[in-house]
Structure 1
Amino acid sequence: MKRYTGFKLLIVDDHEHNLFTLRTLIERHMDVQVFEADSGQQAIDIALHEPAIDLIILDVQMPGMDGFQTASMLKIRSKTKDIPIIFLTAAFKTEAFQQKGYEVGAVDYLLKPIDDNQLINKISTYFRLIEKERGLNRVLEQKVKERTAELAAAKRHLENILTHMGEALLLLNPEGEIESVNPAACEMLSYPEDDLVGMTIADIFEEEEQEQAGAFFGTWLEALIRTGALNRIEARFIAKDGRRVPILFSRTAVKDEAGELQHIICIAKDMTGYVREEDAVDSAS
């Protein structure tokens, strides 16, 4: 049973008889598509214009551009640089020539006359390696596809939570500038999202104690860097129309692997209509 259907093999030799012999041998054992070139330049042209050549069998001794020069030209082109090349030669048999063949990028250097089974086994070896690599790539691509789908689903789920959560959420950079908000924040502050992004937290926030108002962000940073989170405090948002919206406010630091502050997540609950415990006690008195 013939194997390797769909593979493409380029054989290069300046003698027509050698091309015929190679083609006949290969097609006897393999169901591959064989391309022929009788010169180095023709080999380069075929490899550049025929998509996905899998293997090149290249004669060394050719007039004009020899096999070494041809291999060098193939290896400097991005489209052909990864195609495995097997050299075949009857003349350049010394170890120095074999070393040169490997230096210009060949994966094998075979001497003529070559045993038919040896050549077929060599070709089969490289086709099996290519099959294995392609199989691994397919598995990897499938895993990447599945992981991408999982991440997209998780992202949609998180976005859905943020969109429908009742609390206002604001994402700040370390300088206190607002980078993103959820719909609840826009509704609470009566600002469209595009207006809020780029504002600073100081533009929309005030703490209950007046003396804290000027330096509260610096205090935040110090505490966030030290602890990673701050307990809820009672404060007020300043809406677009000047309204003070009472809120219960918490902040969390997001740090990178080096421990540097990257973002600050702020969550605010609208406390309009709620009565503080101490206020309730005062009213009862």
Structure 2
Amino acid sequence: MNGYAGFKLLIVDDHAHNLFTLRTLIAAHLDALVLEATSGAQAIDLTHRHPDIDLIILDVQMPEMDGFQTATLLKLRKRTRDIPIIFLTAAFKSEEFQQRGFAVGAVDYLLKPIDDSLLINKISTYFRLIEKERGLNRVLEQRVAERTAELAQARDYLENIITHMGEALLVLEPGGAIKLTNPAACRMLGYAPADLIGMGIGDVFEEDGDEAAGAFWGTWLEALIRTGALSKIEARFIARDGRRVPILFARTAVTDTAGEISDIICIAKDMTGYVRVATDPDPATTQERGERELPQEAS
């Protein structure tokens, strides 16, 4: 076997004996499949019927549509513009015609009579380049597929955590609108996920002394810009039915590469059933009293 089985080569010449010579030469050195065309129009038709052609050897001097015109049309079509073209000619040998050949997209411009070794070496070189490019593309595609799978796995893992976490999660836009939530927040507030998206944080949240919806937002934003996070506070969610749900609430700002806030992450723990009990950690001292949370005993 001579190699390059599976490659497809199109040879174009209006003289049958030239096609025979090319076909015989290529078959003696390479295992590529050879297609033949006797005109530019037939060559273009073959490229439509065989979109996997790897290389074209194109005679320049042909009636009706010469090699330059054929190459120009091939380069205009998306499916054929990247196929390498080697020009062969016995008549157009001047540098002017060679430059014209390269200008219309040829990768090589060879003169007849054909130098057998040179032509086979040229064909083999382009096949090797194509083979290498395909190998690199396969590696790249494999890496992209692996990375895509890793990202999907990481996304599913994160979504699973968010879905099953016991605390309510609200992700806000910098203006305070809710852009993402989790099932715990929906249960706590009594809203469907689609209903919560787009609502303002002031519609579902209030702090002590800030019963007016949204009255606290300017203070929040200023503090988040300054510190990036606000410590846990006691507050209330305003449920859909008007109930006030006591929560322990924390907020964190996420910034973009420019240092601007892109998201605000809010996490709330339902404190229903808990009461605050004052304790004296050390009765023998005069230290300030601490506080701890205890579950409220059932009556």
Asked if these proteins are the same fold (TM beyond 0.5), I'd say yes
The 2-side partners of 1:56 and 1:67 are apart by 11
The 2-side partners of 1:230 and 1:16 are apart by 84
Matched, 1:106 2:117: no
The 2-side partners of 1:282 and 1:122 are apart by 86
What number of residue pairs does the alignment pair up? 283
Task: Check conservation: 1:25, 1:116, Cα contact below 8 A.
Answer: yes
After superposition, the Cα gap between the structure-2 partners of 1:136 and 1:115, relative to the gap in structure 1 and judged at 3 Å, is same
Task: Check conservation: 1:245, 1:270, Cα contact below 8 A.
Answer: yes
Superposed CA offset, 1:183-240 (max 9, x none): 1001111212122112111100000123786531122222222322222221110111
The 1-side partners of 2:218 and 2:279 are apart by 30
The 2-side partners of 1:72 and 1:262 are apart by 50
Q: Summarize the alignment of residues 93-172 of structure 1 with structure 2, pairs less than 5 Å apart.
A: 93-172=93-172
Task: Check conservation: 2:51, 2:80, Cα contact below 8 A.
Answer: no
Task: Check conservation: 2:203, 2:214, Cα contact below 8 A.
Answer: no
The 1-side partners of 2:290 and 2:74 are apart by 89
**3-state SS of the aligned residue for 2:250?**
strand
Structure 2: tracts of 5 or more residues without a match: 281-288, 292-299
The 2-side partners of 1:226 and 1:129 are apart by 57
Superposed CA offset, 1:95-145 (max 9, x none): 111111111000111111121111001000000000000000000111011
**3-state SS of the aligned residue for 1:106?**
coil
Q: Summarize the alignment of residues 6-25 of structure 1 with structure 2, pairs less than 5 Å apart.
A: 6-25=6-25
Aligned match of 2:173:
173
User: Structure 1 vs Structure 2: percent identity of aligned residues?
Assistant: 73
Aligned match of 2:297:
none
Task: Check conservation: 1:207, 1:213, Cα contact below 8 A.
Answer: no
Superposed CA offset, 1:164-193 (max 9, x none): 101100111122111121010011112121
Q: How far is the alpha carbon of 1:247 from its aligned partner?
A: 1.1
Tell me the TM-score normalized by structure 2. Answer: 0.90
Mean CA deviation greater in 6-15 or 172-181: 172-181
Amino acid at match of 1:223: A
**3-state SS of the aligned residue for 1:275?**
strand
The 2-side partners of 1:282 and 1:154 are apart by 41
The 2-side partners of 1:17 and 1:26 are apart by 14
Q: Summarize the alignment of residues 239-254 of structure 1 with structure 2, pairs less than 5 Å apart.
A: 239-254=239-254
Amino acid at match of 2:78: S
Tell me the TM-score normalized by structure 1. Answer: 0.94
The 2-side partners of 1:144 and 1:5 are apart by 28
The 2-side partners of 1:5 and 1:203 are apart by 69
The 2-side partners of 1:155 and 1:68 are apart by 53
Amino acid at match of 1:103: A
Aligned match of 2:35:
35
The 2-side partners of 1:270 and 1:78 are apart by 60
Q: How far is the alpha carbon of 1:59 from its aligned partner?
A: 0.5
The 1-side partners of 2:213 and 2:7 are apart by 73
Q: What is the RMSD computed on CA atoms of the aligned residues? A: 1.9
Matched, 1:262 2:262: yes
The 2-side partners of 1:54 and 1:282 are apart by 80
The 2-side partners of 1:270 and 1:147 are apart by 38
The 2-side partners of 1:69 and 1:88 are apart by 14
Structure 1: tracts of 5 or more residues without a match: none
Amino acid at match of 1:2: N
Q: Summarize the alignment of residues 186-201 of structure 1 with structure 2, pairs less than 5 Å apart.
A: 186-201=186-201
Mean CA deviation greater in 187-196 or 132-141: 187-196
**3-state SS of the aligned residue for 1:6?**
coil
Aligned match of 2:284:
none
The 1-side partners of 2:217 and 2:93 are apart by 78
Matched, 1:204 2:204: yes
Task: Check conservation: 1:56, 1:85, Cα contact below 8 A.
Answer: yes
The 2-side partners of 1:246 and 1:211 are apart by 14
Aligned match of 1:229:
229
**3-state SS of the aligned residue for 2:274?**
coil
